[in-house]
Amino acid sequence: MPEADRQAVLAHPFTRSCSYVQHCMQLDLQRLREAHDASSPRGCYTFEQRRLVRPGLAVPADACGACGSAPAAAPAGEKQQQQQYKAGSWRHSRRRLAPSCKELMYVCDGDRNGVVHFIGTDYGSKQWVNPVASRALDVKASSPPSRYTDPKALVSGQFLNTSFAGPRYVRPPQQPAAGAGTAAASPSTWWQLDLGPQHRLLCNYYTIRHDGSQDGFVRSWVLQGSNDMQHWLDLRRHLSDSTIRLPGQYGSWPISGPAASMPFRAFRLLLLGPTQSHSSPWVFCLSHWELYGYFYKLSSASAAEGVLQTQDAAAAGRAEQGSVTTAAALPAAG
């Protein structure tokens, strides 16, 4: 290997940013100089797309872009430095996920691994009790509670033949001047699930189930999260989604991107467009709703901080059209 290539390897940004990798590279290059064997796989280092590659060795690159192989025998100093690095990574993971954090993993449609069932069992310690009946969480809809808009039934886990939320008609924030006529009110249909002020969920999956209606299948809606029920952030937006086609059918979707790493207290399913029902296009039929992700409890100070973070994120997201919904356009439940 020419001396210029060895210097280029040592001058690479990744090598200079990681002292442990730099030390290993220096030792490895020193062995190469002593062996004078540039044709072996150990000595054939090349530059490719800002990362180090060893030709002939099928070793995948890690997240930083470096080859995953390490020297066969590392000196005591290298082992100590590697142990310190692992300890630092472990402490960083502990800071990122609180010790009381509970992973609620989606397994299949209709399972009992979601946050609603977890709260209903008193965090997995007792027999299940309807969390709405015990006031452990709160469910609201755009229409008043009735026989067919029952918050307790929505989280009961049982199949509901008829369960829906009706539209609430909201006038635009900017009213026309006197004598110019009355602005037409727009329908707003939603279901809202509030985990409580001390609960947070980093949602990475969610499931809904259609009721027994033969029509009214949702096609355009959005899942939103909030910590104050005033500023809502879009977690996943569905446009012309034809997943649900049959009565009682489940639909499950992952939450990805930055939204999956943000904790929220409340979640909302908001109808964005008419359903396939010809008679009631703005009725949101829903028999079951479950959320999954990382769940944990907060102190009072942390809960207040979460509200401020949601407001800051909402203010930053206003630059993107449709990413944030405020209470002025669509009022919160209740």
Instruction: Please tell me the predicted confidence (pLDDT) of residue 67.
Output: 40
pLDDT at 68 > cutoff 80: no
Q: What are 34's two structure tokens?
A: 């002593």
Kindly tell me the sign of the dihedral angle through the C-alpha atoms of 183, 277, 163, 243.
negative
Instruction: Please tell me the predicted confidence (pLDDT) of residue 170.
Output: 80
Integer Cα distance of 235 and 323 in angstroms: 9
Integer Cα distance of 86 and 158 in angstroms: 46
pLDDT at 333 > cutoff 50: no
Question: Phi, psi at residue 132, to the nearest 5°?
Answer: -75, -40
Q: Over the range 42-79, which residues count as b (16 or more CB within 10 Å of their CB) and which as e?
A: bbbbeeeeeebbeeeeeeeeeeeebbeeeeeebeeebe
pLDDT at 50 > cutoff 50: no
Integer Cα distance of 278 and 282 in angstroms: 10
**Class of CATH domain 102-174+185-326:** mainly beta
Residue ranges per domain, the chain? 3-96, 102-174+185-326
Q: What are 94's two structure tokens?
A: 């502990």
22-36, 150-164, 235-249, 307-321: segment of lowest average pLDDT:
307-321
Q: Which of 192, 191, 219 shows the shortest CA–CA distance to 277?
A: 219
83-87, 237-241, 277-281: segment of lowest average pLDDT:
83-87
31-35, 40-44, 63-67, 286-290: segment of lowest average pLDDT:
63-67
Share of the chain above pLDDT 90, in %: 51
Q: pLDDT for 277-327, tens place per residue? A: 999 999 999 999 999 999 999 876 555 555 555 555 555 554 444 455 543
Cβ proximity of 324 and 231 under 8 Å: yes
Q: pLDDT for 100-145, tens place per residue? A: 789 999 999 999 999 999 999 999 999 999 999 999 999 999 999 9
pLDDT at 182 > cutoff 80: no
Q: Which of 213, 215, 232 shows the shortest CA–CA distance to 224?
A: 232
71-80, 193-202, 260-269: segment of lowest average pLDDT:
71-80
Grade residue 53 by pLDDT with cuts at 50, 70 and 90: very low
Give residue 118's identity as a one-letter amino acid code: F
Integer Cα distance of 252 and 223 in angstroms: 12
